Structure 1
Amino acid sequence: MNNNPVEQARHSIHHVHELIHRVFTNADGAGEAAIAPLMDVFAEDFSMVTTAAAVVDRAQVEQLFKGAVGARPGLTIAISDLHTIWHEGPTVALRYKETHRQDGRETSRVSIALLRVHHHSIRWLYLHETPLAQENPA
């Protein structure tokens, strides 16, 4: 893997969303097994602001994923407009657009993730999601 912290952080954005997709769809029967590697990327003191403006901690995020295994069959998740907005030492802040498509509906959010890269270990410290207006009403 690349030693550049920004490139490692950018890769992590895609990797984490692949794991989230696996949890939500359970398409290959490995949704539950994806939870442990997914949670491994979140720092112990990780927190996030959801699209509903709720502040949740790591334990709450884990419970959300455990309750969501296979809950969204047919879901696709696309990551676009990925930009580095800040980088200092091992810490990188990235902004990206996340688009969910399912059953003819599309929803998007813009997120800012704060990640710490140490060698080949990446920890998500913080995530803030902002919903965008529905782009493709059903």
Structure 2
Amino acid sequence: MNNNLVEQARHSIHRVHELIQQVFTDADGTGEAALEPLMAVFAEHFSMVTTSAVVIGREQVEQLFSGAVGARKGLEIVIEDLHAVWQEGNTVALRYKETHRLDELETSRVSVAIVRLHHHDVQWLYLHETPISVEQPA
């Protein structure tokens, strides 16, 4: 795998989640300003499978974020176990664990993002999120 492309893709995963956290928390009143750079990352025909197994497109993602500015004050998003799992040309698939912490609640998911890189521009083509269920004591 081309290490430079993989590093750019890895950086994009972290940057996108920083922007998402900024939108949700509206820290310092910058949530609204984060929408434009966040949405610029998603390709025109971007689609994703949510943790509820619903397939949504770019327009629905934009509506979700636009309506969520400041909705989750105190949210922390942590990205771990980030690995490139496939590359062909300038397209890379990355798998990572994403954890959301808010108050005393923590939820995690394993996600796979497919991104295309062109020079220093990264476009997200597809995202698939799988929730990690926590076993409850019997």
TM bin (shorter chain): over 0.9
1:28: Cα distance to partner? 1.3
1:68-109 Cα shifts (integer Å, max 9, x gaps): 000000110000000100011100000000000011110000
1:4: Cα distance to partner? 1.2
CA distance in structure 2 between the partners assigned to 1:113 and 1:26 by the alignment: 25
Q: How does 1:87-98 map to 2 (within 5 A)?
A: 87-98=87-98
Normalised by the size of structure 2, how large is the TM-score?
A: 0.94
CA distance in structure 1 between the partners assigned to 2:61 and 2:28 by the alignment: 22
Normalised by the size of structure 1, how large is the TM-score?
A: 0.94
1:20-70 Cα shifts (integer Å, max 9, x gaps): 000000011010110000000000000000000000000000000000000
Letter in 2 for 1:102: L
CA distance in structure 2 between the partners assigned to 1:32 and 1:61 by the alignment: 15
2:111 matched residue in structure 1: 111
Number of corresponding residues? 134
After superposing on structure 2, the runs of 4+ consecutive aligned residues of structure 1 that deviate more than 4 Å are: none
1:134: Cα distance to partner? 3.5
2:25 matched residue in structure 1: 25
CA distance in structure 2 between the partners assigned to 1:135 and 1:4 by the alignment: 39
1:52 matched residue in structure 2: 52
CA distance in structure 1 between the partners assigned to 2:67 and 2:135 by the alignment: 27
Q: Identity over aligned residues, as a percent?
A: 72
Letter in 1 for 2:4: N
Looking at secondary structure, tell me which structure has more helix per residue.
2
CA distance in structure 1 between the partners assigned to 2:22 and 2:31 by the alignment: 5
Q: Which runs of 5+ in 1 are unaligned?
A: none
Residue 28 of structure 1 aligns to a residue whose secondary structure is helix
Specify whether residues 40 and 104 from structure 1 end up closer, same or farther in structure 2 by C-alpha distance, changes over 3 A only. Answer: same
2:133 matched residue in structure 1: 133
Residue 127 of structure 1 aligns to a residue whose secondary structure is strand
